[in-house]
Amino acid sequence: MKKLTGRSVFTGRNIEAKFNEGIIIDVKELSSSEHLPFISPGFMDIQVNGYSGLDYSSDNLQGSDVVKITAMLAAAGTSRHFPTIITNSQKLIIRNLKTISRTIIDNPDLSDAIPGIHVEGPFISAEDGPRGAHDLQYVRKPDFAEFEEWQSASGGRIRQLTIAPELPGALDFIKRVSSEGVIVSIGHTAADPGIIKEAVKAGASMSTHLGNGSHGTLPRLNNYIWEQLGSDELNASFIADGFHLPPSVVKVILRTKGLDRLILVSDIAVLGGTKPGIYKWGNIDVKVHEDGHLGLAGTEYLAGSGHLLNYSIAWLMNELRLSPADAVALCTINPQKLFFPSDDKTGLKPGASADLTLFNWNRGDTQLGILETWSRGKKVYTAP
């Protein structure tokens, strides 16, 4: 049996959590008023494209890359994530799904660290703006046979699929995919509001990084962002780093959707964590700015994120004055509830999985100071 002590991120009180065989078996409040580090469930990031030069959409992705990305995320407090493969050829998508699946099978510890896979595209808008950093040559119409090949190659691990619902055949595709238990998410779309409504009726239940992957200019009232924001049936992921969305927009999303229907994601990209400069990402030129954010070189458009969840959580607490409990729930309790509703593993309570993060944070700190990260009761990161 192992134990951790810390200040509960949810209650602010000092607690001791005991766990055995990867499961929390007891949590008790301590009488001590000692100032301890925060203890929270391990962060869960459902949109990880890659990091520090490693890319889940690379044509030479190796199993060792999957292991390395998982380890680097753990250093930022993320104990679980969805590898995200973006718009590409069917051959590459199949190859990389097989690589990820095989790596999980060969490394049993990864089965908890990688509870699902997110395929973002290739069934998205071809228009500049909504397409974002996705390669135009691979954008195509929905094909359920392609999806079936993906799911077979992944060993049934695809849990989220992002699609533009205005594409020919998309509504029927959404209906078929969502009926298989996969969360179908609206994203990289140029759809009229009416199509967004039809997509929800067909089974779409989420929006991908709401507010991003969109045109620079939209109709004042009737547009796809307002329609998704106002839909009670849609959960939404969002990026909170001060670059993707202005603080006022994040505040409106939080207030409109409500904290319980939102999921904080990093959308971290292959060039996150690299030095400033201009790099090739496939056929696309991406600029890493001095402040760490990523953009399509020579444009106003972003190219994924350069910051992980330890940065985003701190940004929410500093800029919008969210409590630690509310900020952390956005990337722990909420994704668990949406993607694994029958498997209540997340929380600081008996019966929950021992995915835990210990961190320091004081107001003004631009990121959390991660001390330890645990995955299924195994320590996967310790601060130097």
Whether residue 164 is contained in a domain is answered as yes
Strand partners, 374: 356, 379
Strand partners, 296: 286
Query: Model confidence over 199-215: pLDDT tens digits?
Result: 999 999 999 999 999 99
How far apart CA 241 and CA 91 sit, in angstroms, is 34
How far apart CA 234 and CA 222 sit, in angstroms, is 18
- 153 pLDDT more than 80: yes
Closest CA to 163 of 133, 197, 190, 192: 190
Give the total number of structural domains in the chain.
1
Look at 81-85, 269-273, 323-327, 378-382 and tell me which has the smallest mean pLDDT.
Answer: 269-273
Whether residue 29 is contained in a domain is answered as no
Whether residue 196 is contained in a domain is answered as yes
Confidence of residue 349 (pLDDT cuts 50, 70, 90): very high
Q: How large a percentage of the chain has pLDDT more than 90? A: 89
* Token code pair at residue 38: 């925060």
Question: What is the pLDDT at residue 290?
Answer: 87
Confidence of residue 144 (pLDDT cuts 50, 70, 90): very high
Mean pLDDT of the 35-47 span: 97
Question: What is the pLDDT at residue 77?
Answer: 98
- 115 pLDDT more than 90: yes
Whether residue 25 is contained in a domain is answered as no
Question: What is the pLDDT at residue 236?
Answer: 98
Question: What is the pLDDT at residue 382?
Answer: 98
Whether residue 301 is contained in a domain is answered as yes
Under DSSP, the state recorded for 260 is: G
Question: What is the pLDDT at residue 344?
Answer: 67
Query: Model confidence over 24-35: pLDDT tens digits?
Result: 999 999 998 889
For residue 43, give Cα distances in angstroms to 94, 113, 308: 28, 10, 10
Which runs of consecutive H residues, i.e. helices, occur in 13-163? 63-74, 90-106, 110-113, 144-153
Whether residue 62 is contained in a domain is answered as yes
Residue 277: CB partners within 8 Å, gap ≥ 6? Answer: 287, 288
Q: Is there a contact between 377 and 354 (Cβ–Cβ < 8 Å)?
A: yes
Question: What is the pLDDT at residue 20?
Answer: 95
301/16: higher pLDDT: 16
What global pTM score does this model have? 0.96
- 184 pLDDT more than 70: yes
* Token code pair at residue 213: 């992957």
- 345 pLDDT more than 70: no
Mean pLDDT of the 77-93 span: 98
What CATH number corresponds to the domain at position 81? 3.20.20.140
Question: What is the pLDDT at residue 67?
Answer: 98
How far apart CA 320 and CA 303 sit, in angstroms, is 24
Question: What is the pLDDT at residue 118?
Answer: 98
Provide the CB-side half-sphere exposure for 39 (13 A, CA): 24
Residue 356: CB partners within 8 Å, gap ≥ 6? Answer: 4, 17, 19, 39, 40, 41, 42, 79, 372, 373, 374
Query: Model confidence over 280-333: pLDDT tens digits?
Result: 877 778 899 988 888 888 887 777 799 999 999 999 999 999 999 999 999 999
- Under DSSP, is residue 101 helix (H, G, I), strand (E, B) or coil? helix
Structural domain harbouring 144 = 42-343
Question: What is the pLDDT at residue 304?
Answer: 77
Whether residue 359 is contained in a domain is answered as no
Closest CA to 274 of 102, 37, 54, 124: 54
How far apart CA 318 and CA 332 sit, in angstroms, is 19
Whether residue 15 is contained in a domain is answered as no
Mean pLDDT of the 105-130 span: 96
Q: Is there a contact between 273 and 306 (Cβ–Cβ < 8 Å)?
A: yes
* Token code pair at residue 241: 């780093």
Look at 3-12, 204-213, 220-229, 268-277 and tell me which has the smallest mean pLDDT.
Answer: 268-277
How far apart CA 218 and CA 227 sit, in angstroms, is 12
User: Which amino acid, one-letter code, is at 324?
Assistant: P
